[in-house]
Structure 1
Amino acid sequence: MTDHRSHKFGRRSFLASGAAFLSTPALAQTESGTTEVERDLGEAVVRNISSFRSLEWQPYFSNLNNGAVLVDVTSRALHYWSGDGSVYKLYPTSVPLTEDLTRRGRTSVVRKVDGPSWRPTPSMKKRNPEWPDYVGPGPDNPLGTHALYLGWTYYRIHGTHDTRKIGRRSSNGCIGLYNEHISELFELAKVGTQVLLI
């Protein structure tokens, strides 16, 4: 007879440690050098959304070939333009916890996965050795329902089952969207869609 307690304990301890991690205030250095404190994810946060506005694509891209995605880490927004310019979408996002986890620059969508699996990066595993080596698709998966894999190793635009993360510094480097938004973006974006993080 197989004892499943160790598997359940491992999963429970992963979820518990994740919950503990999420309830710890996140500290991040802002551009002015002051410390920004992200409050407990269980608390409601009221933000000034004046910087969350629609943008034109021309200052950021020379063309819209294959469509274009702009992620503005400061305003915590993702902008999408279709290749013919007829579709524009603006979504709120989660962003990396700290500047050292944040990657900026140009890349592209290299792979699309409906129902992604998740593995912690080596640096995540080093910081959190109790985390599992693998989480399959489903409600416990940190990548939510869909993922757009970028040309940079370990970087994704993906969904999240934890809606409290959106609008916050809460990721280890990826850009997170509500599951309903990543599902929509997943249908719009193609392999080859341009991506710029600023």
Structure 2
Amino acid sequence: MTRLVAAVAAIAALLGSISLAQAQFDNERQEMLRGGATKKGVYNILGLDGTGLGRTTVNYASKYAPGTIVVDTAQRRLYLIQGGGSALQYGIGVGRAGFQWKGTHKITAKKENPDWTPPAEMIARQPDVPTHMKGGDPANPLGTHAMYLGSTLYRIHGSPDADSVGEAESSGCFRMRNTDVADLYKRVSVGTTVVVK
């Protein structure tokens, strides 16, 4: 982290004045919005970051009807079931230890450029978290699109940080690259079944 702060400060010095304290604050704020992760997990150390986890069509034998979303948290993949034994596969970021869950819900709402208000539990864990971020803010942790799951606080949503795709560092939501979440968003509707396993 120290090398990253020093690199940011050096680049900023070339582009204009910025203090080392400001660079460190900005870096820590990004880490907080990503869920407080302090280092990359094995998925991204091996080069399997968000750039390698984009949408692809795969063979997928399933008992679920076409149009169902299946979230495989262990594999960090989301599948949109298609006909004929195939699925669209997307890479996702999942909940960190203690925040993973399983179950079946329906998509109850869809929002483009969603506002983000962290729940009270997150504010209690991370007192410095912003209390509200407007949709369209480039740092908004929900990214460009969000699909809300049942009456829970969980969502399938975009992320301004493609490196968080493939990681286990969220508070239980499923993160996608903004390009991928926009693609999924247009393919599904309110009422779509989401199976998390």
With structure 1 as the length reference, what TM-score do the two structures score? 0.73
Q: Which runs of no fewer than 5 residues in structure 2 stay unpaired?
A: 1-22
Q: Partner residue of 1:8?
A: none
Q: Which runs of no fewer than 5 residues in structure 1 stay unpaired?
A: 1-11, 27-37
Distance verdict in 2 for CA 1:110–1:17, change over 3 Å: same
| 1:180 CA drift (Å) | 0.5
Match of 1:18 among 4, 29, 32: 29
Q: Partner residue of 2:193?
A: 194
Q: CA RMSD in A?
A: 2.9
CA distance in 2, matches of 1:146, 1:191: 13
Distance verdict in 2 for CA 1:164–1:140, change over 3 Å: same
| Structure 1 position 102 matched with structure 2 position 100 | yes
Query: Residue type of the partner of 1:45?
Result: L
Q: Partner residue of 2:146?
A: 147
Match of 2:61 among 50, 56, 62: 56
Aligned residue pairs, count: 164
Distance verdict in 2 for CA 1:46–1:140, change over 3 Å: closer
Q: Partner residue of 2:68?
A: 68
Which structure has greater helix proportion?
2
CA distance in 1, matches of 2:74, 2:68: 19
Distance verdict in 2 for CA 1:104–1:129, change over 3 Å: same
CA distance in 1, matches of 2:91, 2:121: 27
Q: Partner residue of 1:88?
A: 87
Please list, as runs of the form range in 1=range in 2, the aligned pairs for 1:33-44 lying within 5 A after superposition.
38=41, 44=45
| Structure 1 position 45 matched with structure 2 position 59 | no
CA distance in 2, matches of 1:136, 1:14: 20
| 1:20 CA drift (Å) | 4.2
